[in-house]
Amino acid sequence: MAIDPNFEQSREQVGEENGVTVWGPVDPPEQLGIHGTHVAVDYDICIADGVCLENCPVDVFTWVDTPDHPESDRKVEPTREDQCIDCMLCVDVCPVDAIDVDASR
């Protein structure tokens, strides 16, 4: 199941972590929601293989710890989503379709 491209309408903004907007529902450690807005990562399906982090030409992503999450103990956070150049490489390389980039946001 891929990230919901309409998450801003279907989910509620529940807070912020490290300056990144978090969209619920959130119920740690199993359910962590979607992190980011322009560059959004669905933490609940992210497997943290790091391919987006390794391939991003402008270093949008950083690692954050997510202990005891069923998919992985760390995730990629769009810490510098304001630096995104909308190349869509992260979207293209994500094996589980956990990332959405929306140039209109």
Q: Report whether 79 belongs to an annotated binding site.
A: no
Decide if 85 is inside a domain.
Answer: yes
Q: Report whether 46 belongs to an annotated binding site.
A: yes
Q: Bigger pLDDT: 104 or 11?
A: 11
pLDDT tens-digit series, residues 5-53: 999 999 999 999 999 999 999 999 999 999 999 999 999 999 999 999 9
CB 33 within 8 A of CB 44: yes
CB 99 within 8 A of CB 52: yes
Domain of 65: which CATH number? 3.30.70.20
CA distances from 20 to 1, 34, 62 (A): 23, 10, 12
Give how many domains the chain has, as a whole number.
1
Q: Report whether 72 belongs to an annotated binding site.
A: no
Q: Report whether 69 belongs to an annotated binding site.
A: no
Q: Report whether 90 belongs to an annotated binding site.
A: yes
Decide if 64 is inside a domain.
Answer: yes
pLDDT tens-digit series, residues 53-79: 999 999 999 999 999 999 999 999 999
Decide if 93 is inside a domain.
Answer: yes
Q: Report whether 43 belongs to an annotated binding site.
A: no
Decide if 2 is inside a domain.
Answer: no
0.85 exceeded by the pTM? yes
Structural domain of residue 35, as residue ranges? 7-101
